[in-house]
Amino acid sequence: MQLYHHQKLDIYNSLSGKKEQFKPINEGHVGMYVCGPTVYSNVHLGNVRTFMSFDMIFRYLKHLGYKVRYVRNITDAGHLENDADAGEDKITKKARLEQIEPMEIVQRYTVDFHNILNTFNFLPPSIEPTATGHIIEQIELIKNIIDNGFAYVANGSVYFDVHKYNENNDYGILSKRKLDDLIHNTRELDGQNDKKNPQDFALWKKAEPQHIMRWPSPWSDGFPGWHLECTAMSTKYLGDHFDIHGGGMDLKFPHHECEIAQNQAAKGQSPVNYWMHANMLQLNGQRMSKSTGNIVNPDELLSGNNNFFSKAFAPSVIRFFNAQAHYRSVLDLTDDGLLSSEKGFYRLMDAINLLDDLKASETSSIDIKSWKQSCYDAMNDDFNSPILIANLFEAVKYINQVKEGSQTLNSEDLSLLKETLNVFAFDVLGLKNVTKTDSGTDKLSAAVDILIKLRQDARANKDFALSDKIRDELAEAGIQLKDGKEGTTFSLS
């Protein structure tokens, strides 16, 4: 009996604007697609936040017992930068500047992306397809859309006919826009001469002579339009209709709106049951942006090598910080915020590490079973990780109280508490148990234990000058002693 049979999960669906009970198309199986990065530069920290949220969602679905196929693509084909650039795409442009092959750029930043995600303890997706590996599928899709009358060829390029589509379909169903409003509010842009209407978007773009990335097609040597790859790859691996599609809030329009239109036009059905959108990450109250300099890269955040933060932060601290906000809320990255999360994170880890030392009693004075269910209730409510964390801190209180002797747990509840904490802190939230003590070596802790013993002896002899000297000098060296009822422990600061 899998957990999902008795844990009722609600998901906020951007399509309906409501929380809905999650019911997969095939019982026990979940198909989830998340729009991945464009690998033409180092991965953006905001991008990392989005993937971190979906990593947590992936982890929780798996924990519930679902067999999840999680597809997250790599966009390596290059998107049109803008129409004024006459078809030159971002990847080509960067390659030209650095005098190397486009695929060399792609390779470099794909490796960077994976390194960063590994550092943050991400689970790998089930499939990580690349856009360049699915050119044939994209061409086939375009043929379907043309055959069904929703696209037209113009000067070697193919465009999706939004106005035609909107006659019997709702272009704007996801982003809650009206085509009429779009018509009245679209700016005049150059280089759109081939399009019938400015709202139309490219399915295939003819390559200019200087364009290096190009593939043959029935219409021209060129490259696919930038919404098409996700339709091609999601349906190839998850089917024409699948459970969950995720991405950043800013992809809702036009990207995801176009995916719906493409799928509807090519396959006659809307592709996705549950659309999920993660919110933006800000830096000191402002959007991150290269042009204003208000930006920090993931590796700069981890190394402390930046102008925004007072110190380096461990990957798990950043994960914890992220999980303290709901995935649908804007999160503001600040030094104060990270520092306070860091303290809380280590307090949680210290408590978890105390578990093995706790002594079981005959009876329990705390209702661990209902505490455990409240952890599930939090996650079942649209993956509410902040409430989950509030519950984890309840457990911190329990652990410390049992240690102090003001509460008791029997051995059954003690192992249930331990098991549940491990599940949520490590399996679901993806934290790593990096305690301050763990950062030392066995030899260090043996040495500190000797000093602790010497200090005990000094205290027993009322030689407080010596005992305080040991304590204070260790503190100066970054080793903090903690006196408890059961003896003295230490942590590194």
Partner RNA sequence: GGUGUCGUGGCCGAGUGGCUAGGCUCAGCUCUGCAAAAGCUGCUACAGCGGUUCGAAUCCGCUCGACACCUCCA
Site for RNA in 207-236 (CB under 7 A): 226
Span near RNA by CB under 7 A; candidates 169-177, 358-366, 408-416, 445-453: 169-177
Site for RNA in 255-294 (CB under 7 A): 255, 278-282, 285-288
Cross-strand pairs, 72: 34
Cβ neighbours of residue 472 closer than 8 Å, sequence gap 6 or more: none
Count of residues that interact with RNA, criterion CB under 7 A: 85
Nearer to RNA by Cβ, of 65 and 337: the residue is: 337
Query: If you write DSSP's letter for every residue of 416-479 in order, what string do you get?
Result: HHHHHHHIIIIIIS------TGGGS-HHHHHHHHHHHHHHHHHHHTT-HHHHHHHHHHHHHTTE
The DSSP secondary-structure symbol of 339 reads H
Q: How far is the CB of 153 from RNA (least distance, A)?
A: 21
Binding test (CB under 7 A) with RNA, winner from 384, 422, 435, 437: 384
Q: How far is the CB of 215 from RNA (least distance, A)?
A: 19
Span near RNA by CB under 7 A; candidates 113-121, 172-180, 234-242, 416-424: 172-180
Binding test (CB under 7 A) with RNA, winner from 203, 233, 368, 389: 389
Site for RNA in 39-58 (CB under 7 A): 44, 46-47, 49-50
Query: If you write DSSP's letter for every residue of 192-238 in order, what string do you get?
Result: -TT-SSTT-EEEEEEPPTT----B--SS-SEEE-TTHHHHHHHHHHH
246 closest CA partner among 277, 218, 215:
277
348 closest CA partner among 391, 384, 378:
391
Binding test (CB under 7 A) with RNA, winner from 238, 358, 414, 481: 481
Span near RNA by CB under 7 A; candidates 63-71, 343-351, 429-437, 444-452: 343-351
Span near RNA by CB under 7 A; candidates 211-219, 363-371, 428-436, 480-488: 480-488
Nearer to RNA by Cβ, of 134 and 255: the residue is: 255
Binding test (CB under 7 A) with RNA, winner from 71, 211, 471, 479: 471
Question: 483 by DSSP, 3-state: which?
Answer: strand
Cβ neighbours of residue 311 closer than 8 Å, sequence gap 6 or more: 304
Fill in the per-residue mask, 319 to 338: x = in contact with RNA (CB under 7 A), - = not in contact: -----xxx--xxxx-x-xx-
Cross-strand pairs, 29: 67
Span near RNA by CB under 7 A; candidates 119-127, 258-266, 341-349, 423-431: 341-349
Binding test (CB under 7 A) with RNA, winner from 102, 125, 248, 271: 248
The token duo for 91 is 């990847």
Q: How many CA atoms lie within 13 A of 78 on its CB side?
A: 25
Q: How many other β-carbons are positioned within 10 Å of the β-carbon of residue 313?
A: 21
306 interacts with RNA by CB under 7 A? no
Site for RNA in 179-208 (CB under 7 A): 181-182, 185-187
Q: What's the first-to-final CA gap in the chain, in angstroms?
A: 45
The DSSP secondary-structure symbol of 186 reads P
Q: How far is the CB of 389 from RNA (least distance, A)?
A: 6
Q: How far is the CB of 165 from RNA (least distance, A)?
A: 16
Q: How far is the CB of 147 from RNA (least distance, A)?
A: 26
By the 8 A CB rule, do 61 and 131 touch?
Answer: no
91 interacts with RNA by CB under 7 A? no
Integer Cα distance of 19 and 6 in angstroms:
18
Span near RNA by CB under 7 A; candidates 94-102, 108-116, 416-424, 463-471: 463-471
420 interacts with RNA by CB under 7 A? no
